[in-house]
Amino acid sequence: MIIDHRTYTVAHGRMAEYLERYRTMALPVQLRHLGRLIGFYVSDIGPLNQVVHIWAYEDIADREARRARMAADPEWKAFQLANAGIFVQQDNKIMKPTVFSP
């Protein structure tokens, strides 16, 4: 298993707008295609205006196949257009578990 850890910094003052758009437009599409949402968080202490998505995949090939199917979905494309310009920064990490990870 691998973890896709995605951190997005949202433009100041636009978090509520982004979260509502994500909840109604993006999340249903992502759940349909990506499947294993581990968690979705917003920053409270430390760097502000950040959201973190954590998704689990079997391996890199599984991730690439699932994300390719999502990218081809017209509903995902509509979300991307509606969401244009909302992020200040995006950081993505792929994490592998240690041998002693649960």
Q: Which CATH number does the domain housing residue 47 bear?
A: 3.30.70.100
pLDDT of 57 above 90: yes
Q: Does the residue 101 lie in any domain? A: no
Average pLDDT over every residue of 42-54: 96
Domain count, the chain: 1
Work out the burial of residue 40: count CB atoms within 10 Å of its CB; fewer than 13 is exposed, 13-18 middle, 19 or more buried. middle
Average pLDDT over every residue of 50-54: 97
- Cβ contact 79:26 at 8 Å: yes
pLDDT of 35 above 90: no
pLDDT of 102 above 90: no
- Cβ contact 5:92 at 8 Å: yes
- Cβ contact 34:76 at 8 Å: no
Q: Does the residue 102 lie in any domain? A: no
Average pLDDT over every residue of 41-70: 97
